[in-house]
Amino acid sequence: MMADGVFLIDGDAFKEKGFIHTGVGTHGLYPSRDGTKMYVANRGSHKVHGTPHSPYGSVSVIDFHTNKVIAHWSIPGGGSPDMGNVSADGKSLWLSGRFDDVVYRFNTVNGSVVSIPVGLEPHGLTVWPQPGRYSIGHTGILH
């Protein structure tokens, strides 16, 4: 999070072998359902309690084949994408908006985003592979 990117690690030697700069406050990592890309949530802040509508909040898309950022999705008006997951069909990336009291739904094809107002400081959000199942927070409560 403080480095603003993703470290590449050699799994056999467990040593750093590279770094990919993604954005301010890199926090959540989510592979695409087809295994070709990694979606990286950049919270837009290095603070535990950041300010709303950060102009640096974004999502970076890394291509696993090249280890390069191939897209960078900003949030109109600023934001704080944090933790989430990819929908079962792979068409949406759902992320909590930690400092903005919203949940974001990113279109994984074109990066467009919809903000959905929720309660104060949503932190964790998971979309399970089974359609219609989700969990809010770090509680593991299924709905």
Tell me the CATH number at 121: 2.130.10.10
Q: Is residue 114 part of a domain?
A: yes
Dihedral of CA 33/80/107/115: which sign?
positive
Interval 94-117: pLDDT, tens: 999 999 999 999 999 999 999 999
Range(s) of the domain holding residue 121: 5-136
User: For residue 142, is it within any domain?
Assistant: no
pLDDT digits (tens, 9 = 90+) for 53-76: 999 999 999 999 999 999 999 999
Domain assignment of residue 99, yes or no: yes
68: CB partners within 8 A, 6+ apart: 20, 62
Q: What pLDDT score does 123 carry?
A: 82
In a domain, 143, yes or no: no
Q: What is the mean pLDDT of residues 129-140?
A: 51
The structure tokens listed for 97 are 């908006």
**Which residue in 29, 43, 130, 139 sits closest to 87, CA to CA?**
130
| Residue 79 confidence (pLDDT) | 96
Identify whether 141 is part of a domain: no
Give how many domains the chain has, as a whole number: 1
Task: Decide if 97 contacts 77 (C-beta within 8 A).
Answer: no
pLDDT, tens digit, for every residue of 15-32?
Answer: 999 999 999 999 889 999
Query: pLDDT at position 141, please?
Result: 41
* Residue 101 lies inside a defined structural domain of this protein: yes
β-bridge pairing 134-136 and 125-127: antiparallel
